[in-house]
Structure 1
Amino acid sequence: MKSLLLVSLLVFISLKAQAQDRQRAIPGWEFHASVNHPVSGKEGVRTFYGGGIGVNVIFKDTNRVSFKTGIELNYFHTWDAWLNSGNFSNQTNIHYQYSVISIPALVRFNFGNELNFLVEFGAYLGFSLGGEMRSDYFSSDPFSNESVNGFKHENYTPGLSITPAIGFGTRLPLSNRLELLLKPEVAFVKNENYGEDSFNKHYFYARFCAGIHLKPKTKK
């Protein structure tokens, strides 16, 4: 009888542990919108705000350490004052606009109980949807002293990018399963398709994300 009770107790503990493991395996979800602001280190360069939206899944969401991935769409708009185009020509008042689909691969560290804080770092794999550049164009011929002034419009593709990033944020409880996500983030973009003088070749950008974190459903 005692052996039967012991075996029953061990089976009960094992089943409960498996149920808890399955519960921890249920991922959480996040839906967010963001403001993307490139930060220039080049004198005389201005930047404009972009934006983005994203849907991400959080694996091991209830653990202290979790993993985030998903899909995000980000838009950027930057401005450069002047760019040497070569052959006695240059461009001024240059506007770059482009969109990128990104897949994040981020490790998240969770702190706190009722009020949750988070630190996450990793990288984004970016696939360009294409972009365009608009500028005022000037060219001169040193032999004939003729010059051309006009407006230039080019389509371009930034190419594949890997963007390291680090973010700090908080999750404020709204209900048993919903939390308000607030997260500032800093990322570094490097594109090889631009010339050395282009601001868009490599730059930092600051991003602020706000959205909803959907915690895993608790099984009774």
Structure 2
Amino acid sequence: MKKLLLIAFMSSCILGFAQKEKRSFKDYFNEFHISVNHGIPFGAYNRTFFGGGLGMSHVFRADRTVGARAGLDLDFFHFWNNGGFDHFLEQTIINQHLYLTSLSIPINLRINLGEKKNLHLELGGRLGFNLYSFYEADILHSDSTNQPYFVHERHPGGPVGFAFAGVNSGLGYLIQWNEKMDFLIRPTFQLNIYDLDRLHIYTQLNLGIHLK
């Protein structure tokens, strides 16, 4: 009888613990977005680019003034420029295009404002990896028997490295939908650093949902 009572007690404890520890997907990720990205050329960094992405995050302390957000972002970029003479490669390269897919982990400090905390400011950074890249361009060739001519070359990889770091800031607004979900609008400003000598500055418009 004692053994049966002990087994019953242990079973109830295990069951109660399992129920207590049971978590939903919302406990891990409670914010989801899609984005449109557009590059900002400046100075020597005259590559124009356009792209999009999607992401999911966990917002900590969404109902408090000071919170945070961390997550995963998958972004797609298409860079292009007219090119010219490349002094490093000592070649004339025109019509350059780079297609890039990256995965990054953004971590942001989040300041929630307003009585309902539906306006927020974000500032933070990100670490990322380039999952896939593809490069194509017209490259000028010359030899002793022919006039200079362009050859269109395509190959995997490109002029950026495997890993990158970035800085991001944003201003977001939550539009109340019901007691379980809000709509999200968040324009952001991003700066990614590749190989310590290449900068990509761009704006990003995020549209999504926030689960309560």
**What is the deviation of 1:78?**
1.2
Superposed counterparts of 1:141-180, under 5 Å? 141=143, 146-156=147-157, 158-180=161-183
**What is the deviation of 1:164?**
0.5
Give the structure 1 partner of residue 48 of structure 2. 47
* Residue 203 of structure 2 is aligned to residue 206 of structure 1: yes
**What is the deviation of 1:42?**
4.2
Q: Distance in 1 between matches of 2:44 and 2:185?
A: 31
Find the residue that maps to 1:176 and give its secondary structure: coil
% same residue: 27
Deviations 1:55-90, CA, capped at 9 Å, x for gaps: 101122221111111111001111111143456521
**May I ask how many residue pairs the two structures share in their alignment?**
183
Q: Distance in 1 between matches of 2:90 and 2:201?
A: 31
Give the structure 2 partner of residue 129 of structure 1. 131
Q: Distance in 2 between matches of 1:208 and 1:110?
A: 19
Q: Distance in 2 between matches of 1:32 and 1:122?
A: 18
Find the residue that maps to 2:63 and give its secondary structure: coil
Superposed counterparts of 1:76-155, under 5 Å? 76-85=77-86, 89-114=91-116, 116-141=118-143, 146-155=147-156
Q: RMSD across aligned C-alpha pairs, in angstroms?
A: 2.4
Give the structure 2 partner of residue 74 of structure 1. 75
**What is the deviation of 1:190?**
1.3
Q: Distance in 2 between matches of 1:28 and 1:124?
A: 17
Mean CA deviation greater in 46-55 or 100-109: 46-55
Contact (CA 8 Å) 2:65, 2:117: kept in 1 or not? no
Give the structure 2 partner of residue 6 of structure 1. none
Deviations 1:79-138, CA, capped at 9 Å, x for gaps: 111143456521101111101101111110000124711000101111110201111111
Superposed counterparts of 1:16-27, under 5 Å? none
Which amino acid letter does the alignment assign opposite residue 138 of structure 1?
Answer: L
**What is the deviation of 1:43?**
7.5
Q: Distance in 1 between matches of 2:100 and 2:71?
A: 20
Which amino acid letter does the alignment assign opposite residue 127 of structure 1?
Answer: F
The match for 1:184 among 184, 187, 197 is 187
Contact (CA 8 Å) 1:34, 1:209: kept in 2 or not? yes
Structure 2 residue runs of 5 or longer lacking an equivalent are: 1-26
Deviations 1:185-208, CA, capped at 9 Å, x for gaps: 001111118xx6xxxx21211000
Q: Distance in 2 between matches of 1:140 and 1:170?
A: 56
